[in-house]
Amino acid sequence: MDIIDKTGVLGELWLEFKEDENFREFIKYNDIGLPLAYYVAEGLTQGLTPLGEQYIVETFDMLMQLLTLTEEEIDRELDDLISLSTILMYAHNKREAQPE
């Protein structure tokens, strides 16, 4: 995934779930990476510094850990359909398919 895809996913997560109880700790901990991703995704800022990109990459990596996914899975399975909703659906389906 490139940084543009990551900012889009994280920006949507921040916008849609910032008040959601299930994401409260994640949102609270990533109080810089999530809004920064939103600003970049919406074109509200001129580019990223290396530190800004690091915040976004680390925040996205934490999201992958939270969902027990890898970036490679997303690239392989979702290819051109990368969005927050497809990632959340894929994570849900993967979890449901695992034997108990």
pLDDT of residue 77: 87
Q: List the chain domain ranges.
A: 3-97
pLDDT of residue 79: 77
Q: Is 48 helix (H, G, I), strand (E, B) or coil?
A: coil
pLDDT of residue 60: 98
Burial of 36 (0-12, 13-18, 19+ CB in 10 A): buried
Stated pTM of the model:
0.91
Q: Which residues, 6 or more positions from 9, have their beta carbon under 8 angstroms from its beta carbon?
A: 37, 60, 63, 82, 83, 84, 87
Do residues 98 and 24 touch, judged by C-beta distance below 8 A? no
Q: From first to last of the 100 residues of the chain, give the pLDDT tens digit.
A: 899 999 999 999 999 999 999 999 999 999 999 999 999 999 999 889 999 999 999 999 999 999 999 999 999 988 778 899 999 999 999 999 887 6
Cα 3 from Cα 89, distance rounded (Å): 21
